[in-house]
Amino acid sequence: MSISNQAHELTKAKVSEQQKLMKSDAAKNYLKKQQLERSGVGNGFYRTQSRTADGQAPGTIQKADGRIRTIQDMVDYWYGFVPDYYANKSSKMSKQDDPVLSTTDGYRNAVYGSEVFYTVNHEANAFALLENRAWVKSGERTVTDFGHGVASGGEGENATIPDTDAPEIDQYEQDPKTIAHSFDVSQVKQLLADTQDDDLDDPFDWLRRYYGEGTEHQTGMGEHPKHINEQLLTAVDDAGNADNVLSLDQLISDQDETSILSNPTNANVYGFDRTSGEFESNVIDNAGNDQTFTIDLLDDAITQVKQNSGKNPVADDNYFFLTNHDTFQRIEEEVGGKERLEAVRATMGLNGVQTQPGDDVGITVQSYKDIPIFESVDVPQDGIGRVYLVDSSTMFMKTLLPTQFYDSGTEVNDDPYSIGRLGNQGLYVTIAETTTVSPASHAKIRDLV
């Protein structure tokens, strides 16, 4: 069996084990207690603090029964119950790829000191902008056509009862994607850090922070979320790795765009054939040729969303624009002569992007027609960056395993046997998939110069 097949079988076994544990009385009792402590309202009910898996808005009253409904419930399970449950079990890790040894350049040097600065951009804005929802089901259903014909229903006097009909319903499923990054430090290297050598204070801890939440000098998040951000913002033409989470550029696509892609099937998502016009989103393109950016293109994107989904991005607080830094500069230049961008306050977290006009919280961002504009260096560029108009209520991350950190080794927990060598190893894992339940609610502008 190949290494990839072994990893696939191991992941299936782990997921099956966790599904059984989630349904156990011990897990439900723990979560019920957490739900009531977090936001109980009396009589055994609690108020949710993020959207449920079916999209119900925060503030819904639910019975505290220990079931995972929201991302907060899932975080309580993975970061509270699971560590306690497995407290007496050691981590199991075996693979090593690129160990940090005492001879590794840049990690132990007699002149450079322990502080580390960065010349790379660690922005992970798209990953922070999308709302997280607990993975409680793997499928979705959507209405794809009306039940009766256009403007139907008119009948003559004393007419017979018209024929019955029903709306067309399609269903599709998502497969969870596993994103993992590991690192290791030899025992000798870790011990040398405690001597008087000019070295990193704690190499293993520094790598843990570097890959996870980020160190004090990183420009954004750690490397693990940064790579997830890059996956989310991979251009549809380059999105050939089926093991990566789906990118916004793949999800926001249509039949016309597939005709200009070198690999049209890259635009197919959830089993839908975009080359046949299935699961259509809104794409403003120029057949792969350069088109000069104008502010009117933002208005066109808003109009297409209105026409094809019935939603109004200008009046709906769930919408935001996402683009690259160069296109944002063009937006500022173009708007200057007609109107001005308005500043709004916004926060980003488990519930995705939320704007709080008038509140002194979060960060200040510019907005166009009250739709906040965010920037990310990873947004695909043609001449300049593409522009996405995203509805965060129907585009979100469905999360099966929130980011977890596993470690083992000689200095970590006195257990070199679990990794089979004298060293220390760490592993970050996230299992999730990008999900949209309404492709017509989003728009993309491309081919910009």
What is the Cα–Cα distance from 178 to 5, expressed in whole angstroms? 13
What is the Cα–Cα distance from 368 to 365, expressed in whole angstroms? 10
* Closest to 80 measured CA to CA, from 353, 393, 404: 404
Mean pLDDT of 29-38: 92
Phi–psi pair at 319, nearest 5 degrees: -90, 150
Give 345's pLDDT tier (boundaries 50, 70, 90): low
At 62-81, the pLDDT tens digits run: 899 999 988 889 889 988 89
The region, left, alpha or beta by phi > 0 then psi within -120 to 50, assigned to residue 54 is alpha
Two structure tokens written together for 406: 């596993």
Two structure tokens written together for 127: 């990953």
Q: Residue 211 pLDDT > 50, yes or no?
A: yes
Mean pLDDT of 38-52: 88
* pLDDT for residue 251: 98
Give 284's pLDDT tier (boundaries 50, 70, 90): very high
Between 217 and 291, the higher pLDDT residue: 291
Q: Residue 359 pLDDT > 60, yes or no?
A: no
* pLDDT for residue 8: 60
* pLDDT for residue 55: 79
What is the Cα–Cα distance from 348 to 127, expressed in whole angstroms? 10
Q: Residue 12 pLDDT > 70, yes or no?
A: no
Q: What residues contact 84, with CB distance under 8 A and at least 6 apart? A: none
| Range scoring the smallest mean pLDDT among 53-57, 146-150, 250-254, 378-382 | 53-57
Give 112's pLDDT tier (boundaries 50, 70, 90): very low
At 79-103, the pLDDT tens digits run: 889 888 877 555 555 555 677 776 7
Q: Residue 141 pLDDT > 80, yes or no?
A: yes
CA-based Rg of the chain, rounded to a whole angstrom? 25
Instruction: Report the Cα 122 to chain-centroid distance in Å.
Output: 16
* pLDDT for residue 361: 45
Mean pLDDT of 309-336: 92
Give 440's pLDDT tier (boundaries 50, 70, 90): very high
Mean pLDDT of 356-367: 60
* pLDDT for residue 30: 93
Give 358's pLDDT tier (boundaries 50, 70, 90): very low
Mean pLDDT of 403-412: 93
Instruction: Classify burial at 48, counting beta carbons within 10 Å of its beta carbon; exposed 0-12, middle 13-18, buried 19 or more.
Output: buried
Q: Residue 2 pLDDT > 50, yes or no?
A: yes
Residue by residue, what is the 3-state secondary structure of 62-76? EECCCCCCCHHHHHH
Predicted model pTM: 0.78
* pLDDT for residue 110: 45
* Closest to 270 measured CA to CA, from 351, 170, 195: 170
Between 108 and 314, the higher pLDDT residue: 314
What is the Cα–Cα distance from 53 to 73, expressed in whole angstroms? 11
* pLDDT above 70 coverage of the chain, percent: 84
At 170-202, the pLDDT tens digits run: 899 999 999 999 999 999 999 998 887 767 789
At 229-247, the pLDDT tens digits run: 999 999 999 998 999 999 9
Residue by residue, what is the 3-state secondary structure of the chain? CCHHHHHHHHHHHHHHHHHHHHCCHHHHHHHHHHHHHHHEEECCEEECCCCCCCCCCCCCEEECCCCCCCHHHHHHHHHHHHHHHCCCCCCCCCCCCCCECCCCCCCECCCCCCCCCCCCCCCCHHHHHCEEEECCCCEEEEEEECCCCCCCCCCCCCCCCCCCCCCEEEEEECCCEEEEEEEEEEHHHHHHCCCCCCECCCHHHHHHHHHCCCCCCCCCCCHHHHHHHHHHCCCHHHCCCCCCCCCHHHHCCCHHHHCCCCCHHHHCCCCCCHHHCCCCCEEECCCCCCECCCCHHHHHHHHHHHHHHCCCCCCCCCEEEEECHHHHHHHHHHHHCCCCCEEEEEEEECCEEEECCCCCCCEEEEEECCEEEEECCCCCECCCECEEEEECCCEEEEEEEEEEEEEEEHHHHCCCCCCCCCEEEEEEEEEEEEEECCHHHCEEECCEC
Domain extent listing, the chain = 1-89, 177-398+434-445
